[in-house]
Structure 1
Amino acid sequence: MKTILWATLTANGNYAQSSPENPPKKEALDDFATHAKAAGNFIVGRRTFEAMQDPSRVSQEEQVSADGPFAGMDIVVVSNSIQTIPGVTVVSTPQEALNYLQQKGHQTALISGGADIHNSFLSQELVDEVIFNVAPVLEGKGLHLVIDKDNYQYKHVQLLDCKALGSGVIQLHYAIDR
């Protein structure tokens, strides 16, 4: 199964943090929905999933619900603190998430939310491709994507595509060399 990590970064390379002052760009959210529909699934962490439910953070069209834009998709939440969420599958590890989606017959898994989830998939070398949407904002304090928190390690990547999504968002799509 091919695994694709989808993330939004700031122009200075931080993992973009959404807030009322810095909401996600519509073009990036639309792109996420397109990738999720193509994969038929997505994997997120608990905090990201909860943020996707919060009407103060996302519009009604963007909320994850039984009748929203993600209806009929396999949504997997990786969490160690909760056991069940109605309508989604909850697992405790990245590998469990991939195993579940593979058993369901998916050819691609989309890893889409939370720096902790992204970093756990990257550090366990479970990612084949990355899609970075670079938002036109500089962020003073932010989180980073990390492939190995204990060592200075490099992973070479191959550029697959580069395109403008609109509103200053640039998308970079890479394959990770293994």
Structure 2
Amino acid sequence: MKTILWATLTANGNYAQSSPENPPKKEALDDFAAQAKAAGNFVVGRRTFEGMRGSGGPGPFADLDIVVVSKHASDIQGATVVRSPKEALSYLQQKGHQTVLISGGADIHNSFLEQGLVDELIFNVTPVVEGKGLNLIADRENYRCQPVQLLDCKPLGGGVVQLRYAMER
């Protein structure tokens, strides 16, 4: 099963922190929707899922398998809750998925990376520089450089550039 980590980054490499003053770019959101629909699923953390739901309801992803990785939540309407990245992958594999989209937050991304569970990276780089932010950390305990292979680079519009990399596992 192929695992794809999808993230929106700022031009200076931080996770893009959306806010009312800095809303997510439409091009990045459209790309996420397309990637999620192609995979038929996505994996997020509890806070990211709650932020996506906004006012509630099934939203545009009602027909997808949504998996929330959380050590504290047990029942979240509209999603399957699991305790670990490996449990998320096992669940989606049992459901017959060939591709898994790992889509957020920083803790979820880093936990999949630390465990060596990512095959591909998709970074949508937005045209903004932020003074603070969260970073991808592939191995927090033992920093190491991990080479990746560029698969594709393309503009999505609105100044957003998508970089796609293969990772060795």
Q: TM class, shorter-chain normalised?
A: over 0.9
- Give the aligned residue type for 2:161: I
TM-score under structure 2 length normalisation: 0.97
1:17 paired residue number: 17
Q: 1:47 maps to what in 2?
A: 47
Structure 1 residue ranges (4+ consecutive) displaced by more than 6 angstroms after TM superposition: none
1:16 CA displacement? 1.1
Instruction: Give the number of aligned pairs.
Output: 169
C-alpha distance after superposition, 1:92-136 (max 9, x if no partner): 100000000000000000000100000000000000000000010
Question: Distance in 1 between the 2:124 and 2:33 partners?
Answer: 13
One-letter code aligned to 1:177: E
CA distance in 2, matches of 1:176, 1:11: 21
Aligned-residue identity in percent:
74
Residue 90 (structure 2) pairs with residue 104 (structure 1): no
**Counterparts of residues 48-127 of structure 1 (less than 5 Å):** 48-55=48-55, 65-66=57-58, 68-127=59-118
SS of the residue aligned with 1:29?
helix
Q: Which amino acid aligns with 1:79?
A: S
List alignment gaps of at least 5 residues for structure 1: 56-62
1:151 shift after superposition? 2.1
Deviations 1:54-99 (A, max 9, x none): 25xxxxxxx7x43x32121000000011101122100010000000
CA distance in 2: counterparts of 1:75 and 1:25, whole angstroms: 22
Could you tell me which runs of 5 or more consecutive residues in structure 2 were left unpaired when the two chains were aligned.
none
Deviation of 1:17 (Å): 0.9
Structure 1 partner of 2:137? 146
Quote the RMSD (CA, aligned, Å).
1.0
- Give 1:150 deviation, angstroms: 1.9
The CA distance in 1 between the partners of 2:163 and 2:6, in whole Å, is: 10
Contact 2:62 2:78 in 1 (8 A): no
Matches of 1:88 and 1:69 in 2, distance apart?
13
